[in-house]
Amino acid sequence: MQRNSRSADPTICARCHQRGTGCCKLLPGTEALLFGLTPTECSAIASHTGENIDTFTQSDIAPPGFVEALRRIHPAFALTMPQGRRTHLRIAEGGCHFLGQSGCRLPEPVRPFYCRLYPFWFTPDDRLMLLRSATCLAQENALTVYEALARLDEREDRLREIFTAWLEVTRLLQKASGVQGQSPCL
């Protein structure tokens, strides 16, 4: 990754989590707003950690309004939560199962697609966007998506590669979805 030392802040994510509001932590009342995982993500994590999938995931029904809001951002989100059923990372003590004192305990290539892309996403017409969050320091007073991108020392082309891989996984999930209504990782 190219470094953009003029505007990047290497401590921004750590500072966000230290104040208790990082993306890997949940504020009370936001527990229902968790993204669904694909079998590819669950398998990669299980393979890396040696943990059984049910050790680091939970399954439930996502609120219909949340699923619809995600569908409006990108229709492929619905494929990770068929009929609202989803498998998501387990939450313990208000934070992700893999959140350690120094951040995520998973190496970047093993993390779920959503975690690697956040706070960015792509629209169905392939435009880079921010998933708005009042608690994300990278977004604080950012006037454009590109300002947040610079603060995180991220590149749009790298995010596009990750997003394209996620789309391919969701397409495969759609083709393989023989069991209607079952959470994808189960």
Rounded to an integer, the average pLDDT of 145-167 is 94
Pairing of strands 95-96, 91-92: antiparallel
CB atoms within 10 A of CB 33: 14
Residue 84 belongs to domain spanning: 12-176
Most confidently predicted of 42-46, 71-75, 88-92 = 42-46
In a domain, 69, yes or no: yes
In a domain, 181, yes or no: no
The amino acid sitting at 145 is V
Q: In the chain, how many domains are there? A: 1
Measured in residues, the chain has a length of 186
In a domain, 5, yes or no: no
With a cut of 70, say whether residue 181 has pLDDT above it: no
Q: What is the DSSP string of 29-58?
A: T-TT--PPPPHHHHHHHHHHH---HHHHEE
The amino acid sitting at 56 is F
In a domain, 184, yes or no: no
- Distance between first and last Cα of the chain: 35
In a domain, 21, yes or no: yes
Q: pTM value?
A: 0.86
In a domain, 86, yes or no: yes
In a domain, 6, yes or no: no
In whole angstroms, what is the distance from residue 43 CA to residue 17 CA?
A: 27
* Residues 180, 61, 78, 69, Cα dihedral to 10°: 150
- Give the tens place of pLDDT for each residue, 48-62: 999 999 999 999 999
111 versus 15: the higher-pLDDT residue is 111
In a domain, 79, yes or no: yes
